[in-house]
Amino acid sequence: MNMHFMSEGERQYIEKRKAALAATAEWIDSKNSELVGEIKIYKGVEYQMEPRGTYVCLNQSASSSLSGSFTSAFALHKIIDDLKTTNKPKESK
């Protein structure tokens, strides 16, 4: 049986190391959740890029068709255009 006993100094070092790693992981998570770049507006809809290159609309309700992430600005613009045309009231003749 191979048993390894840690001294008090080793245990304290490992605890400090774990705490430092947890703090670093938390910092990375907070940096990755921040939006990057400037806020852009397309037909009244504000959107901004996430760190991994996807786009999110700002100031939208969770039930909105524009909630979630979009892979490109072109795809987002297309969806906005489609929503604007389907929500446009029909003119009476």
Averaged pLDDT of the chain: 85
- Sequence letter at residue 41: I
For the stretch 26-59, pLDDT in tens is 998 888 778 888 999 998 889 999 888 889 988 8
Domain-located, residue 42: yes
pLDDT > 90? residue 18: yes
pLDDT at 89 over 60: no
Mean pLDDT for 5-24 is 93
Asked whether residue 33 is assigned to any structural domain, the reply reads yes
- Point out which residues pair with 19 in neighbouring strands: none
Judge contact between 38 and 46, C-beta under 8 A. no
93: pLDDT strictly greater than 70: no
> How many domains does the chain divide into?
1
Question: What does the alpha-carbon distance between residue 56 and residue 39 come to, in Å, rounded to a whole number?
Answer: 10
In this predicted structure, what is the pLDDT of residue 86? 82
Enclosing domain of residue 69: 8-87
Q: Is residue 39 part of a domain?
A: yes
Domain assignment present for residue 1? The answer is: no
Q: What is the pLDDT of residues 65-87, one digit of tens each?
A: 888 888 899 999 999 999 888 87
